[in-house]
Amino acid sequence: TQLLEQSPQFLSIQEGENLTVYCNSSSVFSSLQWYRQEPGEGPVLLVTVVTGGEVKKLKRLTFQFGDARKDSSLHITAAQPGDTGLYLCAGAVSGAGSYQLTFGKGTKLSVIP
Partner 1 sequence: ETGVTQTPRHLVMGMTNKKSLKCEQHLGHNAMYWYKQSAKKPLELMFVYSLEERVENNSVPSRFSPECPNSSHLFLHLHTLQPEDSALYLCASSQEIRGIYNEQFFGPGTRLTVL
Q: Which residues contact partner 1 by CB under 8 A?
A: 4, 33, 35, 40-45, 48, 88, 90, 92, 94-106
7 forms beta bridges with: 22
- Cis preceding linkage at 43, omega within 30: no
Q: How far is the CB of 64 from partner 1 (least distance, A)?
A: 18
Of residues 97 and 113, the one with the C-beta less far from partner 1: 97
Give the residue ranges of DSSP H helices in the chain.
Answer: none
* C-alpha atoms less than 13 angstroms from C-alpha of 52 in its C-beta half-sphere: 6
Give the integer Cα–Cα distance in Å for 4 and 75.
18
Closer to partner 1 by CB, 18 or 30: give it. Answer: 30
CB 45, min distance to partner 1, A: 6
Closest distance between partner 1 and the C-beta of residue 18, in Å?
27
What does each C-alpha distance from 106 to 14, 35, 94 come to in angstroms?
A: 20, 9, 23
Q: 104, 70 in Cβ contact below 8 A?
A: no
Closest contact distance (angstroms) between CB of 113 and partner 1 is: 26
CB-nearer residue toward partner 1: 82 or 95: 95
User: For residues 32 and 79, which CB has a smaller minimum distance to partner 1 in the complex?
Assistant: 32
